[in-house]
């Protein structure tokens, strides 16, 4: 395992948040659902036996789902938190998965250019202070034609009392779904509406967690009439990268 360190460019999780990230709810209702949804957003088959960078891998609970859905030849787990890396290594060993753990900030990845087929960034971006630098790093380490699997909670979810109470985030960088998609385009990633989804899951509705809808006391708001709480996107680095003459 590479050198481990804490970064000043991301906001650490609270103790409650850290414990939640190893819960059944997190694994089954959040990670599993997100990875299956991301798989459905591909226009074509994903790369075979890819090298996957799990950016902000946390405690490695995503490894099992990435392995099942994408069958990677190797997972590179990157996190700036030493304890998370230790737990990720234990998770990979317990499941006998080929994973390399790297202590690194997402805004300055310790990886060569064009070295990975896919970047998986799930619920990591809203913890990062230097989001533009992190996105540029994702673009840099992806091979031409490689994919970024981006799954994020939006400001509409992060800026609620229950999330502010139990978790910790850099509030000045939180964005709407549209703003996240604009950021991806501006970096040079390519995608269409078919490659984007807006899950409206019960846990992302912090006001009542969808209880009133389940009790049929109110009707769910349709897409376009609600403030989106989640955005998932499968976006692709062009085969001719922007630094090779491509215009985003």
Average pLDDT over residues 20-39: 86
CA-to-CA distance for 52 and 73, rounded, in angstroms? 8
**DSSP β-ladder status, 99-103 and 74-79:** parallel
Three-class DSSP category at 224: coil
Checking if the pLDDT of 45 tops 70, the result is yes
Q: What is the pLDDT of residues 209-242, one digit of tens each?
A: 555 455 555 566 666 667 888 999 999 999 985 6
CA-to-CA distance for 134 and 178, rounded, in angstroms? 18
Show the domains of the chain with their CATH numbers. 15-232 (3.40.50.150)
Say how far residue 106 (Cα) sits from the centre of its chain: 12
Rounded to two decimals, what is the model's pTM? 0.84
Q: Which among 157, 66, 164, 158 is positioned nearest to 116, based on CA atoms? A: 66
Between 3-17, 25-39, 90-104, 156-170, the lowest mean confidence (pLDDT) is in 3-17
Q: What is the pLDDT of residues 95-124, one digit of tens each?
A: 999 999 999 899 999 999 999 999 999 998
Average pLDDT over residues 169-179: 81
Higher-confidence position of 4 and 175: 175
CA-to-CA distance for 89 and 101, rounded, in angstroms? 7
């Amino acid at each position: 395992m590479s050198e481990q360190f804490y970064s000043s460019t991301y906001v650490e999780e609270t103790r409650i948040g850290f414990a939640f990230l190893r819960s059944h709810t997190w694994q089954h209702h959040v990670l599993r659902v997100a990875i299956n949804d991301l798989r459905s957003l591909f226009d074509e088959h994903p790369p075979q036996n890819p090298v996957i960078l799990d950016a902000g891998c946390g405690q490695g609970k995503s490894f099992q789902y990435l392995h099942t859905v994408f069958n990677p030849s190797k997972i590179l787990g990157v996190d700036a938190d030493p304890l998370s890396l230790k737990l990720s290594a234990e998770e990979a060993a317990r499941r006998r998965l080929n994973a390399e753990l790297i202590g690194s900030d997402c805004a300055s990845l310790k990886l060569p250019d064009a070295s990975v087929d896919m970047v998986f960034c799930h619920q990591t971006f809203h913890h990062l202070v230097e989001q533009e630098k992190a996105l540029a790093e994702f673009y840099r380490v992806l091979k031409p034609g490689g994919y970024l699997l981006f799954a994020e909670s939006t400001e509409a979810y992060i800026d609620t009392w229950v999330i502010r109470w139990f978790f910790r985030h850099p509030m000045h960088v939180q964005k709407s779904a549209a703003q996240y998609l604009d950021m991806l385009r501006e970096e040079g990633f390519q995608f269409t509406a078919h490659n984007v989804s807006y899950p409206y899951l019960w846990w992302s509705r912090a006001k009542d967690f969808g209880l009133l809808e389940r009790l049929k006391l109110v009707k769910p708001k349709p897409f376009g009439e609600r403030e989106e709480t989640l955005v998932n996107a499968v976006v692709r680095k062009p085969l001719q990268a922007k630094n090779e003459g491509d215009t985003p």
